[in-house]
Amino acid sequence: MILFFLTVRENQLYQALTELKSNKSKTIVTMVNSLDNYEKWKSIVGKGRILPAFPGAGGTITNDILDAALTPRLIQPTTFSEISGKKTKRTEQLSLMFKHAHILF
């Protein structure tokens, strides 16, 4: 399973998706805090490639240095799902990858 994790700010999303549209990865995990319509994203990179995730993380940028941290699971876990909400082979594989790496959601 080849994944591409897109971790950008919402204001950088469309430029990043445009740059990724010719990337060979079948799955782009969009780790972006956004309430945007996924149809727009799919129209850029193609149907079936977007796997939305809502990161339980935050941080600040000071003097061009990012100070970021995961939010405690109790407060805001990182979540991901197919746009349809259904469990699929790729969501199960991604979940297993995170569990194997001891990154729990």
d(CA 59, CA 41): 25
53 pLDDT higher than 80? yes
pLDDT recorded at residue 28 = 96
89 pLDDT higher than 80? yes
pLDDT tens-digit readout, 22-45: 999 999 999 888 888 899 999 999
Name the pTM for this structure. 0.78
Complete domains list, the chain, with CATH: 3-100 (3.40.50.720)
85 pLDDT higher than 80? yes
Strands 50-54 and 79-80: antiparallel
d(CA 100, CA 13): 29
Q: What is the mean pLDDT of residues 5-21?
A: 92
